Amino acid sequence: MGFFDCGISKAEFLSDDADKMEKWLNEGNNGEMNYLKNNREKRYNPQYLVDGAKSVISVLYNYFPSKQLINNYNYKISKYAYGTDYHYVIKEKLKSLLVEIENKTGKLNSRVFVDSAPVLDRAWARKSGLGFIGKNTMLINRKGGSFFFIGHIITNLELHYNDSNDIKNYCGNCTKCIDACPTNAIKDNFVDARSCLSYLTIEYNGDLPADKKNYFNNWIFGCDICQDICPWNRFSTHHSEELFEPSDELLNMKKEDWDNMDKVKFNNLFKGSAVSRTRYKGLKRNIDFLKG
Catalytic residue from among 115, 121, 163, 228: 115
Q: Backbone phi, then psi, for 202, in 5-degree steps?
A: -120, -55
Show the beta-strand stretches assigned E in the chain.
5-10, 55-62, 76-77, 110-113, 132-133, 139-140, 148-155, 219-221
Which residues, including other chains, have CB under 8 Å from residue 268's CB and lie 6 or more apart? Answer: none
Length reported for the chain: 292
Check if 115 is active-site: yes
Distances (CA, A) of 51 to 145, 206, 238: 34, 39, 38
Determine the Cα–Cα distance for residues 50 and 156; give it in Å rounded to an integer: 8
Instruction: Tell me which residues are annotated as active site.
Output: 115
